[in-house]
Amino acid sequence: MLPKINKIGVLTSGGDSPGMNAAIRSVVRTCAFHSIECIGIYRGYQGMIEGDFKEMGPRSVNNIVNKGGTILKSARSKEFMTAEGRKKAFDNLKKAGVDALVVIGGDGSFTGAEVFNKEYGFPVMGIPGTIDNDIFGTSHTLGYDTALNTVVEVIDKIRDTAISHNRLFFVEVMGRDAGHIALNTGIGAGAEEILIPEEDLGLERLLESLKKSKESGKSSSIVVVAEGDKIGKTVFELKDYVEENMPEYDVRVSVLGHMQRGGSPSCFDRVLASRLGVKAVESILEGKSNFMVGLLNDKVALTPLEQAIKGHTEIDKELLRVSDIMST
């Protein structure tokens, strides 16, 4: 017999990403659709420990589908990493009559959910929310598509000034461990070179490529660099290196930073969030637990949380080749 679920709690945890609000809205409204209660938990696991809860109905999520960030706020909670912290969280959930949890966040948040599930047998379901797109079991995480569009728009603007002044720009984008944003925006914005954590293209090759493009008549260039690029140099060190070796270049650096995490979610992210929220709630009602809902081959699919946490996402190497050809 299926466990009776009367009330689901939803929280956002870790770094925020565009589409989290649309996912909260989807969870809340799917609960209402199936006539079960829903409570919002503020500030991720920290709010769970402090009992910072709010009953949510379909009207409490009006006008948020288009908003960046998260109305439930997000937090990183050291206390939840301790058994005492998790005990307080469990007691609060029981007191509030919560039967299952939807966690919207990254792999750290999923690890917390898995530990909590193991300890208390508490039903949990994950929705991947991070702009880095580095979670196994989904082709897209919430916020990734929006971040791509934000970055491309900004690089287009940087290109205007690069062309006007014959400059070379190093543009640093987010991605400490994964180069998805750099690789895709680099191609989308027509970058000369793309430096990512997964591949060491080497400094020599960078210089070669820049020399080639200069010889072929290009007077300005954009190089997109992921935060964690494998060459292991900061964008500022890269600038110094190129200036030393190619003094004819006027080199500038632009670090895009947190603006990549903000803004109104793209249509893709809003639709994805809506689909994942429905699946998360309905899977809980079917008695499932300890899964992440994601998008695989354009279908919403479940992946065990453990795999989502431990599995590795690969970059599409063909994109590197496409980028090379495009910068001819």
Q: From residue 98, how far is each of 9, 51, 222, 308 by CA, in Å?
A: 6, 12, 51, 25
Measuring CA to CA, which residue among 158, 164, 117 is closest to residue 305?
A: 117
Question: One symbol per residue from 245 to 284: x for binding ligand ATP (CB under 6 A), - otherwise; what is it?
Answer: ----------------------------------------
Closest CA to 122 of 254, 284, 302: 284
Considering only 51, 69, 108, 304, the residue that binds ligand ATP (CB under 6 A) is 108
In the sheet that 250-255 helps form, which strands lie side by side, from edge to edge?
193-195, 221-226, 167-173, 250-255
Query: How many residues line the site for ligand ATP (CB under 6 A)?
Result: 17
User: Hey, what are 143's tokens?
Assistant: 């916020």
**CB of residue 116 to ligand ATP, shortest distance in Å:** 7
- Three-class SS of residue 145? helix
Is the Cβ–Cβ distance between 124 and 27 less than 8 Å?
no
- Find the residue with minimal CB distance to ligand ATP: 108
Distance CA 62, CA 235 (A): 42
76 binds ligand ATP (CB under 6 A): yes
233 binds ligand ATP (CB under 6 A): no
Between the alpha carbon of residue 214 and those of residues 170, 238, 248, 254, the distances in Å are 16, 18, 10, 21
Name which of 143 and 277 has its Cβ closer to ligand ATP.
143
Amino acid (one-letter) located at 265: P
Residues 78, 46 contacting (CB under 8 angstroms): no
Does 68 sit near ligand ATP (CB under 6 A)?
Answer: no
Is 141 one of the binding residues for ligand ATP (CB under 6 A)?
no
DSSP string across 68-86 = -S-TT-----SGGGSHHHH
Among 105, 128, 179, 186, binds ligand ATP (CB under 6 A): 105
Q: CA-to-CA distance for 104 and 326, rounded, in angstroms?
A: 37
Q: Is 42 in the site for ligand ATP (CB under 6 A)?
A: no
Task: Kindly indicate which of the ranges 2-10, 72-80, 151-159, 235-243 contains the residues binding ligand ATP, using the contact rule CB under 6 A.
Answer: 72-80
Tokens of 5: 């679920």
Instruction: Rule CB under 6 A: choose which of 21, 30, 92, 109 binds ligand ATP.
Output: 109
Under rule CB under 6 A, residue 67 binds ligand ATP: no
143 binds ligand ATP (CB under 6 A): no
Is residue 21 involved in binding ligand ATP (CB under 6 A)?
no
The only residue of 9, 11, 14, 28 in contact with ligand ATP, by rule CB under 6 A: 14
88 binds ligand ATP (CB under 6 A): no
Edge-to-edge strand order for the sheet containing 100-105? 53-56, 37-41, 7-12, 100-105, 124-128, 291-296, 299-304
State which residue, 45 or 249, has the beta carbon closest to ligand ATP: 45
Q: Give the Cα separation of 146 and 131 in Å (integer).
A: 8
Q: Which one of the listed residues 16, 52, 107, 132 is annotated catalytic?
A: 132
- Find the binder of ligand ATP among 37, 52, 99, 107 (CB under 6 A): 107
Active site residue 132: yes
Query: Least Å distance between CB 293 and ligand ATP?
Result: 15
Positions annotated as catalytic residues are: 132
Q: Which residues bind ligand ATP (CB under 6 A)?
A: 13-15, 45, 76-77, 80-81, 105-109, 111-112, 115, 130
